[in-house]
Structure 1
Amino acid sequence: MKNRSVLISGASIAGPALAYWLDRYGFEVTVVERAPALRPGGQAVDFKGGVQRTLLERMGIFDEIQRRSTGATDTVFVDAEGRERARMSGDFTGGEVEILRGDLAAILHGLTAERCNYVFGDSISALRETGSGVDVEFEHGPARRFDLVFGADGIHSRVRRLVFGPEAEFVEHRGYYYAIAGDVPGGGDGDGPRRRVAYAHSAPGLLAVRGGPKAQQMYMFAAGKLEFAGEADQRRVLTERFAGMGWQVPDMLAELPDHPDFYLDAIARVRMPRFVSGRVALVGDSAYGNTLAGFGTGSALVGGYVLAGELAVAGGEYGTAFARYEEILRDYVKIGGNSNVGRFLAPKTRYGLRLRDWFLGSRLFDLMDKYATDATDDIDLADYPALAPR
């Protein structure tokens, strides 16, 4: 098979999933990850529908994911006195099975670590395509040549920036930020799924959530593009935005400095006219990410399966395989492409908040839930051949 030596940038979800299938089809796989080790914990991610479950079963990891699942978390929206105003079912937010991102990354890494070469604590600094491959320079390690390179390094993808252009050309800020703070209570402990409740309090353009497996604290706020001078500045801005809010928010903000695990980022959508360029292809959030839309993890695994499978069918002829990958994935990843979870959960007006509460209890919400689940099955997964013995 041609084009056997491949480099994947990113060892979170899309990268190890793609590595699993490429290894199955006889490719020599190297995965580079800028973090020094796998990142534990994180927010919960979920899978919906028969297609995604079938894929997890083909990988042999569905039972382990189910064993380590967080269970469903109902979100109860309350007023300043703690009285319930609306409820969002965990069956909607958690899909068929939900698991902490760090636990899923560990499962995927364990599936591939013995057969694929993982390099932690390094990242790609330069790419140059030649007639016979891609010359890759790294921040720390020696330069190497690979037949193909794959960017699976998230919404802020370095591979995309190096090959396709500046982030601003492809990443659309959705007018909101979100933050997660603190250890995740429960979930991911191997005891199987349990049902939990998280409580949320809103003001125009603001949402604060406490409890449940998704995070001990979660914040969402409306804002234009902001510049931060490090994590301390992020925490300061978050505290200022939510100052004066009622309910349990003052206690949450008082606890915030004590939480070592903290993450803040813009809610953003990636809009790429193409997922491929020459010998380089993007997969997962780097190509079609949409923050917190609920489809990213499943789409990343489906994308990795299709990309590797098409390369196997094409005998490594990347031009044909990449074109098929784009053709198959283009419509599928539109599922959550227009959703803006910030605008939905943290409307900027009091009327919008009342409308959200009404919608959550209406038949329209049930129909939206059904449509979202059905849409995840709107793809025919080919049964690609296992061309190389394991």
Structure 2
Amino acid sequence: MTSVGGATDGRAAVRREVLISGAGVSGLALAYWLHRSGCAVTVVEKAGALRDGGYPIDVRGTAVEVVRRMGVLPRLREAQVDSRRCTFLRADGSAVASVPTRAVPTRAVAGGAGGTGGVEGQDLEVRRGDLATVLHALVRDGVEFVFDDSVDALDQSAAGVDVAFRGGRRRTFDLVVGADGTHSRTRESLFGPEERFHRYLGHCFALFTMPNTFGLSHELVLWNTPGKAAALYAVGDDDELHAFLNFHRPEPPFDALRSPDAQRDLVATVFAGAGWEVPGMVDAMRDADDLFFDTAGQIRMPHWSRGRVALVGDAAYAPSFLTGQGTSLALVGAYMLAHALATHRDHTVAFAAYEHAVRGFVAMNQALVDDGAATLFPTTERALERRDTLLRGLDTLPSATTRPAHSALTLPAFAPLL
């Protein structure tokens, strides 16, 4: 803990030293708000640098207010993806419907890479890397960043948290926050194996980039057969596409999750004989150096903290890409955790207040998953025909409106604890 002046009773005020594990959206947003409240913040990230690029993500409802309060809403508006059209295809590649993106009643396509644009002029769709870059620029001069390292072990005591890093260093912090994603090592070290908290949603997906040899521009194309989907997403006029292959599987493929070669083989087997451009996508997946394979799932936990360590974002309450709300929950959760710590000097009280304030919001947004899965990835012929019938009438509908869950939480004013 660091002493700083300013206490009205003549004593030096104590400045919290906080370690954040993970430099993703939730980690960067939390670093901003904790630094603003007077904490000494260190962010450790296992990657060698901030991750740029990446597929587009959505910022909706309450989360838009978070970035507005951070002062970056204008910059994110400038970086907004101009997605104009979404075309749905049958098994043979013929079009079911081609509709304005804003009219599509879905919340995520291509692993988060096909946002719907939300309420036109309000919600945001930006590249994940652009959002991370904007957030990092806010904090890079006031927050310590340690790249190419990670937390190896945590040892809590009444005085703080002794942290052993994989790089060999040891340091002590007042608090530690795991912002290290769905497969959080912080959560595992604190609460046990991921299997205890992971709710598998019956889908696996592969996400990668490939050359844009199709002439696609500012659009998403989604091909479906029962239980299988393939998508190509052109963010702009780039010569690169975001490609996505999704398939239904009753049980998670644990063996494939541990081996990139097994992942490629599994996807190729599942999509063998598929039509449209799928064979070429499978070939591109085999050559891709940025393949990301995972299962669609949620993290559901009875508690998000233990002692002096807390979780935020996907590490605590991943909603899955089927809701399109992962980034928004990360931003809102970071704000609310920092607000609770700025309001309450006792971290135990602060962590409890954070959970109490956010849990209902999380539950509402996680509940969106079933509708998202049914709309984007029907698993039966009947469900697919029902979805396509809906789509064929969308070109006459007004712009989509935001889901009540997106704006179900009203942010309190942020007032740092003096």
* The two structures share one fold, judged by TM-score above 0.5: yes
The 1:112/1:184 distance shift into structure 2, 3 A limit, reads farther
Report what 1:22 is aligned to.
Answer: 34
The 1:284/1:350 distance shift into structure 2, 3 A limit, reads same
The 1:371/1:99 distance shift into structure 2, 3 A limit, reads closer
Report what 1:190 is aligned to.
Answer: none
Report what 1:375 is aligned to.
Answer: 405
Of 205, 219, 222, the residue aligned with 2:227 is: 205
Report what 1:79 is aligned to.
Answer: 90
Structure 1 CA distance for aligned equivalents of residues 146 and 388 of structure 2: 47
Q: TM-score, normalised by structure 2?
A: 0.84
Of 292, 299, 307, the residue aligned with 2:337 is: 307
Offset at residue 52 of structure 1 (A):
2.3
> Is 1:256 the equivalent of 2:266?
no
Offset at residue 359 of structure 1 (A):
3.4
Offset at residue 66 of structure 1 (A):
1.3
Matched ranges for 1:156-171 at <5 A: 156-171=183-198
SS in structure 1 of the partner of residue 365 of structure 2:
coil
Deviates more, 1:176-185 or 1:201-210: 176-185
Structure 1 runs not aligned, ≥5 long: 186-194
> Is 1:109 the equivalent of 2:132?
no
The 1:149/1:73 distance shift into structure 2, 3 A limit, reads farther
The 1:254/1:97 distance shift into structure 2, 3 A limit, reads same
Matched ranges for 1:296-335 at <5 A: 296-314=326-344, 316-335=345-364
Structure 2 CA distance for aligned equivalents of residues 118 and 112 of structure 1: 10
> Is 1:133 the equivalent of 2:160?
yes
Deviates more, 1:1-10 or 1:172-181: 1-10
Structure 1 CA distance for aligned equivalents of residues 142 and 92 of structure 2: 55
Report what 2:63 is aligned to.
Answer: 52
Structure 2 CA distance for aligned equivalents of residues 298 and 90 of structure 1: 19
Structure 2 CA distance for aligned equivalents of residues 10 and 366 of structure 1: 41
Contact 2:343 2:416 in 1 (8 A): no
Q: Which whole-Å deviations, capped at 9, do the CAs of 1:200-233 have from their partners, x for residues lacking one?
A: 1111210001132295311111122112252222
Offset at residue 105 of structure 1 (A):
1.1
**AA matched with 1:216:** H
Structure 2 CA distance for aligned equivalents of residues 126 and 9 of structure 1: 12
Compute the RMSD of aligned alpha carbons: 2.4
> Is 1:220 the equivalent of 2:246?
yes
SS in structure 2 of the partner of residue 99 of structure 1:
strand
The 1:169/1:200 distance shift into structure 2, 3 A limit, reads same
> Is 1:348 the equivalent of 2:375?
no
Structure 1 CA distance for aligned equivalents of residues 188 and 170 of structure 2: 19
Structure 1 CA distance for aligned equivalents of residues 405 and 91 of structure 2: 37
Structure 1 CA distance for aligned equivalents of residues 95 and 173 of structure 2: 56
SS in structure 1 of the partner of residue 412 of structure 2:
coil
Structure 2 runs not aligned, ≥5 long: 1-12, 105-115
Contact 2:365 2:405 in 1 (8 A): no
Structure 2 CA distance for aligned equivalents of residues 256 and 59 of structure 1: 38
Structure 2 CA distance for aligned equivalents of residues 387 and 88 of structure 1: 49
SS in structure 1 of the partner of residue 364 of structure 2:
coil
Offset at residue 371 of structure 1 (A):
5.6
Contact 1:73 1:213 in 2 (8 A): no
Report what 2:261 is aligned to.
Answer: 232
Contact 1:295 1:335 in 2 (8 A): no
Contact 1:7 1:31 in 2 (8 A): yes
Contact 1:45 1:94 in 2 (8 A): no
> Is 1:68 the equivalent of 2:79?
yes
Offset at residue 43 of structure 1 (A):
2.0
Contact 2:227 2:380 in 1 (8 A): yes
Q: Which whole-Å deviations, capped at 9, do the CAs of 1:34-73 have from their partners, x for residues lacking one?
A: 1111222222111122x32222111011111111121235
Structure 2 CA distance for aligned equivalents of residues 37 and 230 of structure 1: 24
Offset at residue 273 of structure 1 (A):
0.6
Offset at residue 87 of structure 1 (A):
4.7
Q: How many residues align?
A: 376
Structure 1 CA distance for aligned equivalents of residues 296 and 222 of structure 2: 18
Q: TM-score, normalised by structure 1?
A: 0.90
Deviates more, 1:23-32 or 1:119-128: 119-128
Of 107, 117, 122, the residue aligned with 1:94 is: 117
